[in-house]
A and B are shown apart, each in its own frame.
Chain A
Amino acid sequence: MRIKLLALMVSAVAFIATSAHAGHHGTKSAVVPEITQTAVMTGLENPWDVALLDDGTMFYTEKCKGFSVRMPNGDVHALYGMKDSSGYASMGSDLHCSNQAGMLGLAVDPDFAKNRRIYVASASTKYHGDGCKTNFERCDGNIVMRFEVSKNFKSVSARTDIVKDIQFKPFESNHPFGGNGAHNGNRPTFGPEGWLWITTGDRHRGVCPQSPTLICGKVLRIDTDGNAHPGNNPPKGFDKRIYTYGHRNVQGIAFRGDGAAFTAEHGPWHNDELTMLVKGGNGGWDPQQNVGGRGDCPDEYCGYMPNQKKGVIPAIRAAYMPMSDTRFGDLMPPAWQNNGYSQGTSSIDFLQGKQWGMYEGRAVVGIMGIAFGGTPAGMRLDVYDVAQDGQSIKSVIHLPVETKRYRGVTMGPDGAIYANTDEGEIYKITAK
């Protein structure tokens, strides 16, 4: 399937925005690129993340199956499966999926040509130990694994679990979307300096995001053995692997041309956010009960309150349960917030290359949104012109692509975006 769409609908907005936009080199393109969308793969089961090598070799995960690699000639090798999967070269019986959880993000080592390493995040039962007996205790149920890929790309070996204690929600709770396995984050990405960044979610546990020791609602910066970056600077008493804390469910992280890290964070009923990270900073999400003016909450988690199962004016919800609570002195204010809507920001990357015209250097973000309670559906890719200081945006446009639930966006080495959808496709989106 191949469609070709001209971005006429955004030209006017784009032209206006161009007049205020400064490019990396002080020059600005006024060209609105022509966008082409081509399906690279179809018929997959919930592809969650994609990572590419320079020659176009593409690794991808399927949430309840495992991870595979598509070679430049189109051949596919199923590499490492989860419990009850079949057809994979090898498998891990501890890896499982449930609701939002499963095999999610993956990243390729910047030095892959020499070390053949890739990194994959998944739900796992291997490190439950004495925990995970209730929703109100520690549950080490999400992990990050390191593998070595064989030279013929037909198998992986040397599985090493480099992060073993990302928190997992073991049971259903009394909340909207309250199934087990909620809010995992789990998008590993390499930063420009070669360190591995891991996003995590609050797993519907109120104490998680502000906890100094539980790895949930955090962004980690570690080496490829799982050790903390020595330059991380979390507050005193915090786990040294923590780069930022106070997050809800960070499914997207990417780095701007100047190295600044940005997250795309899936919000509660009333918001979503894009945030420029500050070392040691606080995202401001604190869904604990009996703090911030709140009383008791269902299952000790206030994340959907007040009146969590009925419609409430978004501003009232935002005041009661803010996504970025200004009572925190170390708050990282969002560059963008969704103004009363929650439409499911899933992933982010920055557009690179002159072919993107006036969009070069801007952030492309997957918006999944299912439309409920008066909120319009998402199912699109948006392009944000983020201010240099990361405190606001200058403009946002809808990229002219098919209406899909875009789970992941990855800038490819060929200058195209690779976008995977919950419907089961991986698209190549090009500009010229």
Chain B
Amino acid sequence: MKSLFLSFFTLLITMHASSATSGDIAAGEARYGVNCFICHGQKGKGMASYPKLAGKPVAYLVDKLETYRAGTRIGPNSDLMIMNAEPLSDEEIANLAAYLSNVKSN
């Protein structure tokens, strides 16, 4: 019974981890290259007053993009981000998050 419970728990963790990283990294990189890089720099390294995104957790990136997409202001550059996030689909957000979280932060 104990082993069955552990197996079930492991399965839950695996499923959660899978859903959190289920975006397509290559598709995310391609979408990032459309216009995100202009502010956040190559590979999400950040520049000027635009923050570094490389290596951020998937959940963080998804949350921020969904918040901006909903039109919620969360910082001084919100107007710019809201404008850019509004057209993004759930799939594009997942892909972008997968790509950026996968980039080494240094």
A binds B: yes
| A interface, CB within 8 angstroms of B | 46, 63, 99-100, 172, 176-180, 309, 368-373, 377, 379, 405, 407, 421-424
Once A177-B76, A179-B77, A371-B35 are accepted as A-B contacts, the answer to whether A100 and B48 lie under 8 Å apart by CB is yes
Contact at A46–B80, with CB atoms within 8 Å?
A: no
Contact at B45–A176, with CB atoms within 8 Å?
A: no
Chain A residues whose CB sits within 8 angstroms of the CB of B49 once the complex forms: 99-100, 177, 179
Residue on B with the closest CB to A178? B76
Closest 3 CB pairs of A and B: A179-B76, A422-B47, A99-B49
Once A370-B39, A372-B83, A423-B41 are accepted as A-B contacts, the answer to whether A405 and B48 lie under 8 Å apart by CB is yes
Q: How far is the CA of A176 from the CA of B83 in the complex (A)?
A: 12
Contact at A99–B76, with CB atoms within 8 Å?
A: yes
Q: Can you show 7 pairs from A to B with CB atoms below 8 A apart?
A: A100-B48, A178-B76, A179-B76, A370-B80, A372-B80, A405-B41, A421-B47
| Cβ of B38 under 8 Å from chain A | yes
Interface of A, secondary structure class, is: loop
Chain B residues whose CB sits within 8 angstroms of the CB of A100 once the complex forms: 48-49
| Cβ of B90 under 8 Å from chain A | no
Which chain B residues in 23-77 approach chain A with CB under 8 Å?
Answer: 35, 38-39, 41-42, 45, 47-49, 75-77
| Count of chain B residues with a beta carbon within 8 Å of a chain A beta carbon | 16
| Cβ of B79 under 8 Å from chain A | yes
Nearest CB of chain A from residue B52's CB, rounded to whole Å: 10
Count of A-B contacts judged by CB separation below 8 Å: 51
Q: How far is the CA of A288 from the CA of B47 in the complex (A)?
A: 31
Chain A residues whose CB sits within 8 angstroms of the CB of B80 once the complex forms: 176-177, 370, 372
Q: How far is the CA of A405 from the CA of B38 in the complex (A)?
A: 8
Q: How far is the CA of A178 from the CA of B76 in the complex (A)?
A: 5
Residue on A with the closest CB to B41? A423
Nearest CB of chain A from residue B41's CB, rounded to whole Å: 5
Contact at A371–B38, with CB atoms within 8 Å?
A: yes
Once A99-B76, A176-B80, A177-B77 are accepted as A-B contacts, the answer to whether A370 and B47 lie under 8 Å apart by CB is no
**Contact partner, B79, options A180, A309, A424, Cβ 8 Å:** A309
Interface centre among B41, B42, B47 (most CB of A within 10 A): B47
Contact at A176–B79, with CB atoms within 8 Å?
A: yes
Once A46-B48, A100-B49, A405-B48 are accepted as A-B contacts, the answer to whether A422 and B76 lie under 8 Å apart by CB is no
Contact at A370–B41, with CB atoms within 8 Å?
A: no
Q: How far is the CA of A373 from the CA of B84 in the complex (A)?
A: 9
Contact at B79–A422, with CB atoms within 8 Å?
A: no
Chain B residues whose CB sits within 8 angstroms of the CB of A176 once the complex forms: 79-80
Q: How far is the CA of A373 from the CA of B48 in the complex (A)?
A: 20
Contact at A423–B83, with CB atoms within 8 Å?
A: no
Q: How far is the CA of A179 from the CA of B45 in the complex (A)?
A: 20
Q: How far is the CA of A377 from the CA of B34 in the complex (A)?
A: 11
Chain B residues whose CB sits within 8 angstroms of the CB of A172 once the complex forms: 76
Once A372-B83, A379-B38 are accepted as A-B contacts, the answer to whether A424 and B76 lie under 8 Å apart by CB is no
